[in-house]
Amino acid sequence: MKKILFNPLFLIGFFLRLGMILFISPTPVTEWYVPFLDASTNLFTLDPWNSWINHHGDPAAFPYGYAMWIILLPLALLAKTIELPLIWAYGATILLADFILLILLKKMIPNKNNLLLLLYWFSPIVVIASYWLGFNDLIPVVILTSSLYFLNHSRPVISGFLLILAISAKLSMVIAVPFIAIYFLHNRAMQQFLIPFLQGASISFFIFIVPFLFSREGMGMLFNNQEITKVFLMGFELNTQLSVYLVPTIYILTIYATWRTKRLNYELFNAMLGIAFLLVILLTPASPGWFIWAIPLLVRYQTTSNQSSIILVSTISILYSISTLFFIGKFPDLFGKNFPSIIHTAMVSIGIILTFRIWHENVNRNDYFRLSRKPFVIGIAGDSGSGKDTFSDAIKGLFGAHSVTTLSGDDYHLWDRQKPMWQVMTHLNPKANDLESFASDLISLTDGKPIHSRHYDHNTGRMSRPFKIKSNDFILASGLHALYMPILRECYNLSIYLDIDEKLRRHFKLVRDVNIRGHRLEKVLESFERREPDACLFIRPQEKHADLVFSIQPIHPHMLQSIDTSNVSLRFKLGVKSRHGLNETSLNRILVGICCLHVDMTVRNDLGEIELTIEGDIQSQDISLAAKMMCPQVIDFLDIEPKWADGILGIMQLITLSHINQALTKRFI
């Protein structure tokens, strides 16, 4: 905060605004807003619109709801108490909203104070519209921006409350409602916040909207306002009775484009909402104050794009400044009667160019948008008891069950456990599994289509009835033969093989099958020998097809003698083999420097492979911090509260996330 308050750019902008408040008397303020505030403070009533109209006030004076009136009221009452001009109180309220919006933008755009001050604090659109022309659009814009900020920071009750408050302040903010609804529908992680969001919105609705509905004069001032009808001025006549209105059509098409984006993150949602506001402004002979609606979008876009964006927005700002001279009646015929239209045409043209650039850079090139076209598919293979389900659940915990669909190879066994075929054939034999259906279902899910599959119950050894499985953002296909068929391998964006130490694998399988699945110890031991030939022939060769290989080895092998490990703390070391590299330099630095692990790294330049051996204890909090440092681009894909594991499993999550980040980058090139 101090860096902003004592910045020379901030102080210059602040005193510029203060001077305009003290020495400029905008017409809307002196003729509409101040008289309305004066009347409502002289004769205080809960329905100031009724009092205003009954005293023959101008119906155009205050076409706003309770939120706008309540926000302007405190400083107006203070000014009357200490006998200061009400116009100063109005200006001070606008200045406060201006400052709050600056602080919000600073939170959204960190570490760019000087650029932010230049782009926002010195924006001609903000300064001219708010302080020279006297419009109050900063107030609803800062409330709506606050609502979106709290929504992004998992404060849904406050966000919902502020959304309705913004609509009460200015009805035009209702433009945001369909986009917020689509955001909840198309972001599965956000759906858990829908009920609290609606609760906050309902409270605000009953406080600010319901009482206004009973004010006949207030409703009349709102809906008889000429500004509302401007959205219907541009259209095409089909005949003498029918017309097609352009602005509502473009708005509906923008909503549809957002709806067609199957998965939305906050940045994508914010860009689509900003584009909707910008198009409504550009295609409407709007009041100059409306341009403030697009300011948050334009400022954020300029800070993330190149100099061309700043030049385009600066050009629009210059044209806007010129056009305001004609809005207030200055020099109407100095350059001919067509000159204002030429200026507005140029402003709209550049604005449309800017809209296309924002769409291209913030939407088309958004990783989340590109992921919405096709799911990210991970294949996980390994021998029985290698930890495929545990590892798959750990990856699902990062992205959230709402964003992950799992496909298990066990569900494609051809026979129930009781069938006699298992006496001559093991599960490890591909002929004992319906791999063609497994591949077909995986292809369907990858194509975004639902499937119907059965589930193999390991407790009963029987298959369930078929049930529907929908596609999702991420698809995890795990199984004994997940990398066996070429057509399967071609589906994966990332393929993983779990190569667990054989003694450790047998130990884990004994613990699982005897203690959890209830099998007899002798039967499990006998299955080891019976399955070994098939494991060598069909399972282990899949390792050479994996992008990433995890090898878990015990540090103290002698502790594996008993299947009762409840009182024993097993320690492991992790071997990692990556065939395509894994940002090994930064990974090694973070694992050693941040996570305090012991790491040995070997680079096989002849094959381009990286091999790591990692030892040490680590907590989930450290792994979460390491992920944010190492893979900031992919963090947005994670669940709101991703479930990081401790120890070796957490390290496997981190390295897998690094590979996902790398695979996404490669896929989006």
Record the tokens describing residue 458, joined without a space.
């390991």
pLDDT in tens, 76-106: 999 999 989 999 999 999 999 999 999 999 9
Q: What's the maximum distance between 2 C-alpha atoms anywhere in the chain?
A: 101
User: C-alpha 169: how far from its chain's center?
Assistant: 26
Tell me: the pLDDT tens digits for 320-343? 888 887 666 555 555 667 777 888
pLDDT of residue 486: 93
Left, alpha or beta for 415 (phi > 0: left; psi -120 to 50: alpha)? Answer: beta
Is 90 exceeded by the pLDDT of residue 363? Answer: no
Which letter does DSSP use for residue 578 in this model? E
Q: How much is the pLDDT for 352?
A: 93
CB 293 within 8 A of CB 171: no
pLDDT at 194: 95
Please list the alpha-helical segments (H only) found in 474-597. 486-489, 502-510, 521-534, 584-593
Check residue 8 and give its pLDDT.
Answer: 92
Q: What is the mean pLDDT of residues 636-657?
A: 90
- Stretch among 3-12, 416-425, 447-456, 466-475 having the lowest mean pLDDT: 416-425
Mean pLDDT across 230-253: 82
Cβ-contact 264, 186 below 8 angstroms:
yes
Higher pLDDT, 397 or 44: 397
Question: What average pLDDT does the chain have?
Answer: 86
Does 168 or 519 have the greater pLDDT score?
A: 168
pLDDT (0 to 100) of residue 561: 57
- Percent with pLDDT over 90 in the chain: 47
pLDDT value at residue 91: 96
pLDDT in the model for residue 516: 66
Say whether pLDDT at 422 is over 70: no
Write out pLDDT tens, residues 110-164.
Answer: 888 899 999 999 999 999 999 999 999 999 999 999 999 999 999 999 999 999 9
Residue 179 has φ and ψ, to the nearest 5°, of -70, -40
467, 452 Cβ separation under 8 angstroms:
yes
Q: What pLDDT was estimated at residue 304?
A: 87
Q: What is the pLDDT of residue 603?
A: 79
Q: Can you state the angle between helices 8-23 and 86-108, rounded to 10 degrees?
A: 160
- Please report which confidence band the pLDDT of residue 634 belongs to, taking 50, 70 and 90 as the band edges: confident
Give me the pLDDT at residue 559, please. 55
Q: How many of the other CB atoms lie within 10 Å of CB of 28?
A: 16
Burial label, 459 (beta-carbon count in 10 A; 0-12, 13-18, 19+): exposed
pLDDT band at 384 (very low <50, low <70, confident <90, very high): confident
**Mean pLDDT confidence for 506-525:** 70
Q: Is 555 left (phi over 0), alpha (psi -120 to 50) or beta?
A: alpha
Domains of the chain in sequence order = 2-369 (no CATH), 377-438+477-668 (3.40.50.300)
Structure tokens at 82: 């200490």
The answer to whether 385 and 512 have CB atoms below 8 angstroms apart is yes
